[in-house]
Amino acid sequence: MTTTAHSPEETLVTATVDTPPTAPTADPVLTGAGTAPLVKRSGRGRKRVTDSLLPIAVFAALIGVWYAITYLVLDPGRRFLMPAPHTIITDALFDGPTMDKVLPALGRSIVVTFTGLAIAIVIGMVWAIAMSQSRPVERSLFPYAVALQCIPILALVPLIGFWFGYDFPSRVIVCVMISLFPIVSNTLFGIQSVDRGMHELFTLHNASRTTRLLKLELPAAMPAIFAGFRISAGLSVVGAIVGDLFFKQGDPGLGILLDNFRARLQGQELFLTIIVTAALGFAVFGLFGWLAKVAVGRWYDQSRDAG
């Protein structure tokens, strides 16, 4: 009993010996050698297998529940409400005419998502950098960033249509508005969190404002900025779908398709479009996670962000 109680501690000790000699006294923001990675490392082997099996088991259970609802709860006439998983594959995914609608719509939604996100990144970073360089500018402009976040976007949608029409530009505007705030706030937070000692180092050597921004503030803020990009990327997908639902002129994106399939009671097609939309969300989120890793993963431990 006592020996088993001690064994986790022992593995923890060996794990500590394994770790590279990062200084424990260093700035906690900069080194990621916290306790969480140690625990993870000590549990290699069987624990890792169960860790990856558990979500799969949950997935299998959910599919089981889904089938139960389709075949046990719904009577045959109402099965379009929740078509069986395999029929989504056979009747929608492998159905030529359906895919001829879904794939181009996916393409258009991707274009809207990335156009909106790109514009949001440019505006958001310029906005945040301007605020970080001058207190009066921050005082004057930050309330509007918060306001942007607080006003329900749906309240502005009619106005956007009124001003910009009911086509592609309005969809992009919704994307920009919905994904702007995380970029502004994360960039500003990142720049303002730069270590004071590093600022003093630059002050001592008479660094100009531009030099300080380019060599210190922006690089130091990169982890926060990329975290902002990742949140905004997810929101931008939401913006593209929401924008679609309201601005239906022009070629349909995924949002319009969702609404059409719903209206025509095409359950399989609707579910497939939902899955494609979700996959787009995952892919965009994953893309920015990967970009962050490429950009700052070398020196910044992102496991800190996760938890």
From the centroid of its chain, how far is CA 22? Answer: 31
How is the chain split among helix, strand and coil, in percent rounded to 5? 80, 0, 20
- Please pick, from the candidates 216, 238, 284, 292, the single residue that binds another protein as defined by CB under 8 A: 216
Q: How many CB atoms lie within 10 A of CB 68?
A: 10
Q: Report the alpha-carbon distance of residue 293 to residue 307 in Å, rounded.
A: 16
Interactions with another protein, residue window 279-298 (CB under 8 A): 296, 298
Residues near 210 by Cβ (< 8 Å), separated by ≥ 6?
A: none
Give the binding range for another protein (CB under 8 A) out of 50-58, 99-107, 200-208, 248-256: 200-208
Cβ closest to another protein, residue 249 vs residue 303: 303
Interactions with another protein, residue window 11-40 (CB under 8 A): 20-23, 25-27, 30-32
Direct distance between the N- and C-terminal alpha carbons of the chain, in angstroms, rounded to an integer? 32
Give the binding range for another protein (CB under 8 A) out of 2-10, 80-88, 104-112, 211-219: 211-219
- Please pick, from the candidates 10, 18, 195, 251, the single residue that binds another protein as defined by CB under 8 A: 195
Task: Give the shortest CB-228-to-another protein separation in angstroms.
Answer: 18
Cβ closest to another protein, residue 29 vs residue 62: 29
Task: Give the shortest CB-306-to-another protein separation in angstroms.
Answer: 18
What one-letter code names the amino acid at 68? A
Q: Report the alpha-carbon distance of residue 224 to residue 136 in Å, rounded.
A: 23
Q: Report the alpha-carbon distance of residue 161 to residue 244 in Å, rounded.
A: 12
* 150 binds another protein per the rule CB under 8 A: no
Task: Give the shortest CB-9-to-another protein separation in angstroms.
Answer: 24
Residues near 63 by Cβ (< 8 Å), separated by ≥ 6?
A: 85
* 222 binds another protein per the rule CB under 8 A: yes
- Please pick, from the candidates 200, 209, 262, 282, the single residue that binds another protein as defined by CB under 8 A: 200
The encoded tokens of residue 49 equal: 């297998």
Which residues make up the interface to another protein (CB under 8 A)? 20-23, 25-27, 30-32, 195, 197-198, 200-207, 211, 215-216, 219-220, 222, 296, 298-300
